[in-house]
């Protein structure tokens, strides 16, 4: 973990096996749904960019999927890291570490949404728990608008 100014803070020791599982599990699942969503969109004939940097006046971000012409930016959000209302339960271990970290994630998500919307982007956020069909459907709908 690196703070502004380059000071490095040691990663806290996981105090329980459960907390370790939560962290690792969410990262893995998040990657899987990204891949599945991309291939489902591809199957439906949508052509997009991945790792495409959007640089605006107030924002610099690489959404997971970007439709440049339609100005649609898609983010796949992990339930844990982005505090999904259904599964985003905060770990009881190391609350002093996780609390501010997760709050900062949510705050950043909000800032990104606001900045992109101000620059006429349509922002779509997909939860990692969403069924792929449903998620792809939401993206396609936004592309038609
Ligand atoms: Zn969830």
C-alpha 100/C-alpha 104 separation (Å) is 6
C-alpha 84/C-alpha 90 separation (Å) is 10
pLDDT along the chain (145 residues), means of 10: 47 50 49 93 96 92 97 95 88 88 95 97 96 97 93
Question: What is the per-residue pLDDT for 84?
Answer: 93
Global pTM reads 0.78
- The DSSP result for 84-133, as a single string, is -TTT-PPPSSSHHHHHHHHHHHHHHHHHHHHHHHHTTPEEEEEETTS-HH
5 Cα–ligand 1 center, Å: 34
75 Cα–ligand 1 center, Å: 14
Of the candidates 143, 144, 83, 135, which has an alpha carbon nearest to the alpha carbon of residue 108?
83
7 Cα–ligand 1 center, Å: 33
Of the candidates 127, 96, 94, which has an alpha carbon nearest to the alpha carbon of residue 20?
94
């Amino acid at each position: 973990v690196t703070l502004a100014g380059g000071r490095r803070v040691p990663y806290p020791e996981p105090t329980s096996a459960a907390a370790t599982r939560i962290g690792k599990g969410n990262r893995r699942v998040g990657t899987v749904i990204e891949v599945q969503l991309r291939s489902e969109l591809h199957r439906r004939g949508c052509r997009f960019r991945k790792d495409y940097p959007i640089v605006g006046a107030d924002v610099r971000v690489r959404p997971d999927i970007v439709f440049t012409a339609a100005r649609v930016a898609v983010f796949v959000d992990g339930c844990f890291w982005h505090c999904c209302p259904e599964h985003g339960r905060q770990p009881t271990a190391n609350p002093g570490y996780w609390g501010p970290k997760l709050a900062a994630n949510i705050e950043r998500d909000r800032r990104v949404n606001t900045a992109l919307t101000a620059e006429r982007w349509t922002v779509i956020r997909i939860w990692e728990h969403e069924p792929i069909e449903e998620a792809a459907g939401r993206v396609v709908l936004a592309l038609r608008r």
